[in-house]
Structure formats: structure tokens, C-alpha cells
Chain A
């Protein structure tokens, strides 16, 4: 596997799992957001 190929699959994984992960993190944090509490 060439380095371009490797980084392409890394980028695909980051896009799919990174964005879903960030969204789940946001959902977990949503209560704090609406209550206006500072981050822990």
C-alpha cells in the first residue's frame, strides 16, 4: 500500500468516525450547553 493510499483511507476513517464521534460528544454535552454550565 502506497503512502497516498494509506492517507486516503485514514482520511475516510477520520471523516466518517471523527464526525460521528464529535456529534455524539456534542449530544452528551447538550444538557450542559442549555443549562449554561461551564465545561468541566
Chain B
């Protein structure tokens, strides 16, 4: 890369840390740190939601599929999410705003107590480890800047961790605004250049087989069902929930999510088209890096550096947000209710910061250890939906308060079935080169049933629902989170710290 491009990347990294340092002076308590004391306005929510939810998995994963399969990447992988996000905006967000929650497991604690909270916190922690973005960043810095993979992973993760440690969600959201513009604008410019290079969509149609333009591609039906079902994760997404709790009001959430769908759809479509353009240009590359290769080929000096910063931004905006959630899960949702229910505000804040570092170290270790990160990601999102989908939505929507046993049985069964199914496929299955995934073919006489690792959700979600029904039927109506003290420390942390912070910030703002 040209020195100007390198300087732009360096400047971007330094600016992110500066924002974290500036915001850190305003952090006074856990609620302030973890949900910004409910101060995020609509534009800030829009920027942070769009950039957080879209990391390198979308950028590289989406273009990987479109490079190989075409428009199916957009219509099957991506489109179901918009419907789920609309449901989240109009049906779930309002329910969540009725009470002062701070995390997804907090919701479980409210309806079922601490047992379910801990199970869902474990699933949320697994889901929140930003493996793909950390690994993708290492590959990007290796391919583009020439920093060895391990050092690239460490450098990128360190910068994201430092400013998140310093400033919590507010620093995360503020850096997300810059990252959001960088990732969107550079991708848009790259797409305009690529369209010129390949002769527009007409050029793509001339160069690519007709199957590239079939919206459902050539996937088996059950795989399409699983892809669509994976969008259910948007209904219990920890980062969405955290931002719903952090929003200044309900209207801000709806505005941000509805506008966000427009930006997500545009981002998805362009990612798809760029992957197809790379295929049309006959670029010899690993499919996952199709987008990176074509863009770096087309962009001039200066814009190339900005694009790399934009891709780093897409990765870092995801890494910082999810590490914050993972740290909060460990400190606030697992350690505190299990071992120190009396943990104070300051101590929770300090412990969360330590747990962010622990989660980051664990994540870097996984990223350096695992070969197939995509497999890990599928497993992680399955674990979240399997453990959390039924109990959380049942808690929010059942007219009669659910029984604590139903929540625990449902979340634990979902998680165990997801883990067990994945372990079976990884143990007895084999990597299928055609589809690029693990498949375990179960043979009974003449009959053969191919079980893809993606099918875990098809077993885990019904198992979770059945376990919930059994828990409702057999469980005792007993103390819920409200009554057994599960929310007492939360209330103490949330309201007390929130009042302090608001006052402090108002004073700070007036002085400024």
C-alpha cells in the first residue's frame, strides 16, 4: 500500500482510541458504561445499529456466496432479517422499554429467575465472541498492509478493546458513527467503480451463468428454511437489546431500526453485486476475499486507504460492541447473580472491564486456533436462538406469568440439544467440498439422511419449545426474578448510577 494509504489507516486507529479516552472521563457507573444511561438518540442509534450488526461476516460472507452462487446471497441469506428487524422494532422494543433492563439475560431473570438468566448469559456470551471479525481483521492487515496475521489480530483487537474499556457503550457508539460512514461510503464508491468496470448489471448478465440470477439458487429446501430461521436471532439479538435499553425513547428505536433496514438492504445488495462482479471479471481469488480483491484492484491511492479503514471499521464496530456485551454477560449476568449478589456499582464496572479483557483474550485464542470460523459462527448463533428464543418471547408475550421451571428447562434443553447436535455432526460427519460445510449422513438400510451442521436449529428450537411446555405443565408456580432478589442489585446499580450520571453529565454539559 502507498504511504498515504498507510497513514490514513494509522490516523483512523489513533482517532478511535482518542474518542475512548475522551468519553472515559464521563463514565461514573455501570449503567452509564453499559447502556450509556439511556441517552442514545435516533441518529446515534442508527449509526451504531447498522455498523455493529454488520461486520466482516456480512462483508466477506455475503460476497463469498454471491461470488459462487449469485443473487441467492441477498434473497435467501439477507432478506429474512429485515422482516425480523421490523418485528423487533414494532412488537418487541416497546415491551422491552416497559421495564428497566440492561441486558438480554436481565429479561430472563425478570420472568424466570437467575438459573435461566445464567444459561442465556452463557449462550449470549458464546454468541457475542466476535471470532469472524477478529480473524478477518488479521487477514485484512496481512493481505493489504503486510502485518503478519497473528500481529494483525492482536493489533486490531487491542485498539478495539482499549477504547471500549475506556468509554463503554458511549465510546463504542460514538466511534460507530465514524465507522458507519467509512464503511458505507467506501463500499458505495467501490461499487460505482466496479459497475463501470464490468459494464453494469448487463455486463454481469453477459458474463455469468443464468443460475446467478435465480433468487433461490440451487440450495436444498431445508437449508433455505434454516437460513430463513436464522433470522430469528434478530428477535433476541444481545446488541439490539442493549441499544433498545440505551435508547433515549421508544420513538428513537423505531426510527433507527426502520431507517437502518434501508441501509442494511443497500449494504447487502452492494455486497452481493460486488461478489458477482469479482466472478464476472474472472478474478482468481479465494471466494471469501472476492470483494476485497476486486475493490483493492479498482480503487485509486487514497481511496484504497480509506476503504481499508472502512473494512477495519466494519470489523472493529462489531468487535467492540460484542466484547462489551460478552464482558457484561460474564460480570453482570453470570458472576454477580451466582457468586456476589451484593456486588456494588463500582465493583461491577471494574469487573466488567476485566471480563472484556478476558473475553478478548479468549476470542483471539479461538480465532488463532480454529480453522473454520464460519462453522463456529453458525454454532454460536444457533446456541443463542436455541437457548433464548422461546423463553424470552414467552416471557414477554404470555398473558399469564410463565413458571420459572419452564424458562430453565427451555433454555437449558435448547442449549444442550444445539451443543449435542453440533458435536455429533463434527464427530461423525465430514466436510463436504461442494457445499463447504460439515454433513453427517445417517444411513438406515437403503435410506440416507444428510444432516448438515446448519440443521442444529431445526432440532434445538422445537426441543426448547417442548421443554418449555413441559416446564409449564409440571413446574411449580414459584418465585420469579422479581421476587427472589434477582433484580435487586440491578435496580440498585441502574437507578442509582443513572441518577448520578445524568446529574454529572448535565453539569458537565452546562460547563462545556
Contacts and interface: CB of A to CB of B under 8 A. Distances in A.
Interface in B217-259: 248-249, 251-252, 259
A8 B204 CA distance: 12
Given A8-B195, A15-B266, A39-B248, A34 B512 contact: yes
A7 B71 CA distance: 13
Given A8-B273, A12-B191, A26-B43, A34 B508 contact: yes
Contact of A36 (B178, B184, B213, B509): B509
Interface in A1-30: 2, 4-5, 7-16, 18-20, 22-23, 25-26, 28-29
B177 A36 contact: no
Interface in B183-206: 184-185, 187-189, 191-192, 195, 200-202, 205
Interface residues of B, number: 46
Interface in B164-191: 177-178, 180-181, 184-185, 187-189, 191
A23 B262 CA distance: 15
Contacts of A14: 262-263, 265-266
Contacts of B188: 11-13, 15-16, 19
Contacts of B184: 15-16, 18-19
B181 A8 contact: no
A26 B37 contact: no
Contacts, number: 118
Given A5-B200, A36-B37, 15 more contacts: A8-B195, A8-B200, A9-B195, A15-B184, A15-B270, A16-B188, A18-B184, A22-B259, A22-B263, A29-B42, A33-B44, A35-B506, A36-B39, A36-B505, A39-B41
B267 interface: yes
A18 B213 CA distance: 27
A29 B248 CA distance: 12
Contacts of B265: 11, 14
B142 interface: no
B185 A33 contact: no
Nearest to A19: B184
B505 A35 contact: yes
> Counting chain B CB atoms within 10 Å of each CB, which of A7, A10, A23, A36 scores highest?
A36
B47 interface: yes
Given A10-B266, A34-B508, A39-B251, A22 B47 contact: yes
B352 to A, nearest CB: 22
A17 to B, nearest CB: 9
Given A12-B188, A12-B270, A15-B187, A38 B181 contact: no
A33 to B, nearest CB: 5
Nearest to A33: B41
A13 B180 CA distance: 15
Contacts of A9: 195
A14 B273 CA distance: 15
Interface in B257-278: 259, 262-263, 265-267, 269-270, 273
B360 interface: no
Contacts of B37: 36
B509 A23 contact: no
Interface string B141-181: 00000000000000000000000000000000000011011
B191 A20 contact: no
Tell me which of B37, B39, B40 has the highest count of chain A C-beta atoms within 10 A of its own C-beta. Answer: B39
B506 A23 contact: no
A14 B200 CA distance: 18
B39 A33 contact: yes
A3 B510 CA distance: 52
A11 B191 contact: yes
B330 interface: no
Nearest to B23: A34
A6 to B, nearest CB: 9
Interface in B270-304: 270, 273
A34 B36 CA distance: 11
Which of A4, A22, A25, A32: most chain B CB closer than 10 A? A22
